[in-house]
Amino acid sequence: MEVLDIIKPENQVFCKTKLMTNAALSYCPGCGHGTAHNLTMEVIDEMGIAEDTIGVAPVGCSVLAYDFMNIDMTQAAHGRAPAVATAIARTWPEKYVFTYQGDGDLAAIGTAETIHACNRGENIVIIFVNNGIYGMTGGQMAPTTLPGMKSTTSPFGRDVKTMGSPIKMTELVAQLPGTYYVTRQSVHTHKNVRKAKKAIKKAFENIKLKKGISFVEIVSNCNSGWKMTPNDANKWMEDNMFPYYPLGDIKVNGKLK
């Protein structure tokens, strides 16, 4: 059998996500951001809604999401993506509007915008990549940094007595009547990738129902910020992040689980 026989379209099980551009990803090798981007674009492509989708990029490592996602995108100020998306969704009610945000962006500086967009039940999707750290600025403590976890601004480990406890934003917004679907996923194994994609798909499909916000947290790694190899980072995430941030649906079809 020739190589060309094997790479026939019908034999193809994996290819580059169509809605991703050809720009080289600027993320560190092993970083979950790239996979989260892929999944989001795959869902939009498969749903055939690319022409009607407007994305809002945050400030954080994924500030350049618009370099990689081949759709119309607006880059928001640090933490303000839910406000930006609110206005786009309100003035273009038939469009699919989503934000893509890190944990510093969504759960620290943008807490008010997150809570209030969720509380108003804006008809948008929020994709929240929680890596427990400020990746972009070089590994400072985030509101989601685990107790005892070291960062450049908590070099002796996060002391909850003086620095507070990590905030579970996803559980918090699930309490608000404006959220329709709230889930926590990860993208570090094949199995989790498949689950996360299903969740993202459900979130985008919910936009058609106009019943409120769909909020998808992706617990992710930051091997650079955590100062670990990609493999060690994933193992550390399973052992430490998942117990604090358990995976799974928290609210489905407007009902808490």
Report the interface residues with ligand TPP, using CB under 6 A: 59-62, 78, 102-105, 129, 131, 133-137, 142, 222
Does 27 bind ligand SF4 (CB under 6 A)? Our answer is: yes
Does 222 bind ligand SF4 (CB under 6 A)? Our answer is: yes
Q: Which does 117 bind (CB under 5 to 8 A by kind): ligand SF4, Mg ion, ligand TPP, none?
A: none
Rounded distance between C-alpha atoms, residue 226 and residue 244, angstroms: 17
| List 27, 66, 100, 134, residue binding other proteins (CB under 8 A) | 66
Q: Write out the binding residues for ligand SF4, residues 47-76 only, by CB under 6 A.
A: 61
Q: Which stretch binds other proteins (CB under 8 A): 64-72, 159-167, 207-215, 245-253?
A: 64-72
Rounded distance between C-alpha atoms, residue 86 and residue 73, angstroms: 14
The Cβ of residue 220 has, within 10 Å, a number of other Cβ atoms equal to 26
CB of 29 to ligand SF4, least distance (A): 8
Per-residue contact track with Mg ion, 96 to 135, x per CB under 5 A? ------xx---------------------------x---x
Q: Write out the binding residues for other proteins, residues 69-108 only, by CB under 8 A.
A: 70-77, 80, 83-88, 90-92, 95
State the sign of the Cα–Cα–Cα–Cα dihedral 30, 32, 37, 42. Answer: positive
Does 135 bind ligand SF4 (CB under 6 A)? Our answer is: yes
Q: Pick between residue 27 and residue 204 the one whose CB is nearest to ligand SF4.
A: 27
Q: Which does 134 bind (CB under 5 to 8 A by kind): other proteins, ligand TPP, ligand SF4, none?
A: ligand TPP
Does 223 bind ligand SF4 (CB under 6 A)? Our answer is: yes
Q: Are 237 and 132 in contact (CB under 8 A)?
A: no
**Which positions ≥6 away from 81 have C-beta within 8 Å?**
56, 57, 58, 99, 100, 101, 105, 106, 110, 113, 126
Rounded distance between C-alpha atoms, residue 88 and residue 78, angstroms: 17
Taking alpha carbons only, the member of 94, 104, 102 closest to residue 124 is 94
Q: Which does 169 bind (CB under 5 to 8 A by kind): ligand TPP, ligand SF4, Mg ion, none?
A: none
Q: Are strands 53-57 and 72-75 parallel, antiparallel or unpaired?
A: parallel
CA angle 165, 248, 236 (to 5 degrees): 55
Q: Are 171 and 184 in contact (CB under 8 A)?
A: no
- In a 13 Å sphere around the CA of 170, the CA atoms on its Cβ side amount to 29
Binding site for other proteins (CB under 8 A): 50-54, 56-57, 63-64, 66, 70-77, 80, 83-88, 90-92, 95, 112-113, 115-116
Contact residues for Mg ion, defined by CB under 5 A? 102-103, 131, 135
